[in-house]
Amino acid sequence: MSGPSRAPTMADVAATAGVSLSTASLAFSGNKPVSAATRERVLSAAAQLGYTGPNPLARNLRQGRSGVVGIAVGPLSTAFRDPAALPMLDAVSQVLEREGLGLLLMGEGDEHAALPLDAVIYDICGRETWDAYADLAARDVPVVVVEGPSWPGSTFIDIEHHAGATALARHLHDLGHRRVATVTLAPSHPQREREAGLREVFPDAAVVGACESDLTAAQELVGPWLDHGPGATAVVCQSDVQAAGVVLEARRRGLDVPGDLSVAGFDGVATPWLDLELTTVVQPLAEKGRAVARAVLDRISGTDTADVLLPVELRVGGSTGPARS
Amino acid sequence: MSGPSRAPTMADVAATAGVSLSTASLAFSGNKPVSAATRERVLSAAAQLGYTGPNPLARNLRQGRSGVVGIAVGPLSTAFRDPAALPMLDAVSQVLEREGLGLLLMGEGDEHAALPLDAVIYDICGRETWDAYADLAARDVPVVVVEGPSWPGSTFIDIEHHAGATALARHLHDLGHRRVATVTLAPSHPQREREAGLREVFPDAAVVGACESDLTAAQELVGPWLDHGPGATAVVCQSDVQAAGVVLEARRRGLDVPGDLSVAGFDGVATPWLDLELTTVVQPLAEKGRAVARAVLDRISGTDTADVLLPVELRVGGSTGPARS
DNA sequence: TTGTACGCGTTATCAA
DNA sequence: TTGATAACGCGTACAA
């Protein structure tokens, strides 16, 4: 066999099979019926030439789609440190994969501006603005935003931050808590909504401080506050990871949870290294991911999309109890 | 201004600017000098038409590259559950991003076979075979493999599993341990190498069992073994997460670590929720990621690549101590 | 420094 | 069911 100087193209296959280029194309794509005999001839010619199928680059240009969806999550090591991020990403990826679409990780910058993306998912709760958005909008790239912020022309997938936080607050109030503090996130849509929900019940809730959803960060934030003498009987956190940090830090100071201090989280993720189930607001992470993926598919196909608001559910665990009187 | 029926193309820009198509191309790419005056005309024509720059799809076809690198990590929720995965992924992503390359997450299947990938990183330690490999090889897509298995034509980035495991074993031996058990991984290159390294010092090390690098999995594996009466004074794990699981499970049974049982891990990741620093084999995760990214860049550019073997380092923490006599 | 012409490899339209 | 032909939008020799 003669070593081919360049990769075989579909035209080579067609020539070898003795059919026209368009027939060869149909034999591969199956977009229109082709007789079994000719398809066979085409495929065997392809095998003989070592042709590995239509060049994706050419197909993409022709069809005007790349098959790649970007997801902006910020620096990966921080984005995925919170276990709440994974189930959603997993669900998105699975749904898209089924459609032959790939998921491309984007930082926050616009280094990926030159990549052909069919759509972009924006999933950085902690950021309010996004420089790359104007670019994407100008190029008519569909954008699906997870948990705000709100930009014109985007589709939004959100959860009931406010209602969830209020339900949690009521639970604490029912337990007799009157002085409550909160560990919050950087200013953002979820942060504002959840805090507002909390204040429906505890208008005067004290803010311990803001940090990302990271165990160590939460510990460093709450430690000094605990030392200073909290003056609160319960701490409401904006994530389970933060809540776990508060639990660990409280215990380190000899406080009993929930005897001396009730601690609540948000998200509903597993914390197997904590011998305690957190009281938390469970959000449907996988369902959120599927909703995101569906919105992406709709936007790509031009179907109308509606924003989605997913319900949350209070789950009472062992980290909250009656207020110490 | 008249609403354009279709997106403007570079030809439109060139026409509006009164220059040729190739000149417009040069004005955007900067591949050859263009007079400041013409560039200015081209850019203002582009702005006027709302042209957002060269179509990436067309550019990709023309240049034969997509700017996208695939990374096969398996199901995301399991792949990133282990904190050891993130620093590497982060490093890979950062280096590639700097070159304008994007990172696309692939499952283990071949659903992404139709995507134009410039290279693929294979990073599923637990898998021995990969159906998609033959496809990629046939299409001449460069493959960089992290920690085996070994396929012809791939570039390998690996760490000193064997030496690290042996160093750890020596440490235990020096502490007087003679009866050692190991929690291992599914059969794989790292598993074989590390276990062989361990057996350099403890040829008769007992195998507790194999599980993935997951806290709960490790707990469920080691629990019954502990109940049964271990008959070992130290447990060597194949990951820090596994080791943490063993520590928690041992404590739950009233055993002191390291008083009653020494526990060692592998990786060197942070376990902030454990009030104990694990004795472990620290691998250079970020450096591994950079090596992977460099190999990818070299393979894409056609530069020769050499396999990389990165050193590891024993870090003695508080989870190992003298053997109980 | 700029313009001309061609090709990248495919899919879609239309007619046969 | 098949074939001829025209895009898709751009980069790059080559010539001017």
Q: Are B293 and B144 in contact (CB under 8 A)?
A: no
Asked if residue B20 keeps its beta carbon closer than 7 A to nucleic acid strand C, the reply is yes
Q: Kindly report the CATH number assigned to the domain that includes residue B191.
A: 3.40.50.2300
Are B211 and B276 found together in one domain? yes
pLDDT band at A5 (very low <50, low <70, confident <90, very high): low
The letter for the amino acid at A228 is H
Are B187 and B166 found together in one domain? yes
DSSP assignment of B184-223, as one string?
A: E-SSSHHHHHHHHHHHTT-TT-EEEEE--S-HHHHHHHHH
Are A152 and A254 found together in one domain? no
Alpha carbon B7 to its chain's center: 39
Give the residues across from B66 on adjacent strands. Answer: none
The letter for the amino acid at A112 is H
Closest chain B CA to residue A113: B100
Say yes or no: A1 contacts chain B, CB-CB below 8 A: no
Alpha carbon of B229: minimum distance to chain A alpha carbons (Å):
23
Asked if residue A38 keeps its beta carbon closer than 7 A to nucleic acid strand C, the reply is no
Distance CA B8 to C1' D4 in A: 29
Alpha carbon of A109: minimum distance to chain B alpha carbons (Å):
10
**pLDDT at residue B2, as a whole number:** 41
From B52, B89, B93, residue closest to A139, measured CB to CB:
B52
Are B255 and B304 found together in one domain? no
Q: DSSP 3-state assignment of B282?
A: strand
Cβ pair A68:B219 closer than 8 A: no
Alpha carbon of B201: minimum distance to chain A alpha carbons (Å):
32
Query: Chain B, 23-52: which have a CB under 8 Å from a chain A CB?
Result: 50, 52
Are B291 and B155 found together in one domain? yes
Within 8 A by CB and 6+ apart from B308, the residues are: B156, B157, B158, B291, B295
Are B154 and B294 found together in one domain? yes
**Rounded Cα–Cα distance for residues A73 and A105 (Å):** 7
**pLDDT tens digits in sequence order for chain B, 325 residues long:** 344 468 999 999 999 999 999 999 999 999 999 999 999 999 999 999 999 999 999 999 999 999 999 999 888 888 888 899 999 999 999 999 999 999 999 987 777 888 999 999 999 877 778 888 888 899 999 999 999 888 889 999 999 999 999 999 999 999 999 999 999 999 999 999 999 999 999 999 999 999 999 999 999 999 999 998 778 999 999 999 999 999 999 999 999 999 999 999 999 999 999 999 999 999 999 999 999 999 999 999 999 999 999 999 999 999 999 998 7
Picking from A95, A111, A123, A251 by the largest number of B CB atoms within 10 A of its own CB, the best residue to mutate is: A111
**pLDDT at residue B71, as a whole number:** 95
**Rounded Cα–Cα distance for residues B191 and B165 (Å):** 10
Cβ pair B272:A80 closer than 8 A: no
Whether residue B246 is contained in a domain is answered as yes
Are B194 and B261 found together in one domain? yes
Of A40, A61, A52, the residue nearest A12 (C-alpha) = A52
Query: Chain B, 197-216: which have a CB under 8 Å from a chain A CB?
Result: 215-216
From B57, B97, B139, residue closest to A66, measured CB to CB:
B57
Whether residue A266 is contained in a domain is answered as yes
Whether residue B210 is contained in a domain is answered as yes
**Rounded Cα–Cα distance for residues A290 and B81 (Å):** 20
Are B247 and B168 found together in one domain? yes
Distance CA A62 to C1' D6 in A: 12
Are B292 and B143 found together in one domain? yes
**Rounded Cα–Cα distance for residues A180 and A263 (Å):** 10
Of B261, B267, B259, B238, the residue nearest B249 (C-alpha) = B261
Are B111 and B252 found together in one domain? no
**C chain positions with any atom within 7 Å of a protein CB:** 1-13
Whether residue A317 is contained in a domain is answered as no
Whether residue B321 is contained in a domain is answered as no
**D chain positions with any atom within 7 Å of a protein CB:** 1-13
Whether residue A321 is contained in a domain is answered as no
From B61, B90, B275, residue closest to A58, measured CB to CB:
B61
**What residues make up the domain containing A248?**
161-283
Are A149 and A291 found together in one domain? yes
Whether residue B260 is contained in a domain is answered as yes
Q: Quote the number of domains for chain A.
A: 3
Are B126 and B173 found together in one domain? no
Asked if residue B31 keeps its beta carbon closer than 7 A to nucleic acid strand D, the reply is yes
Whether residue B186 is contained in a domain is answered as yes
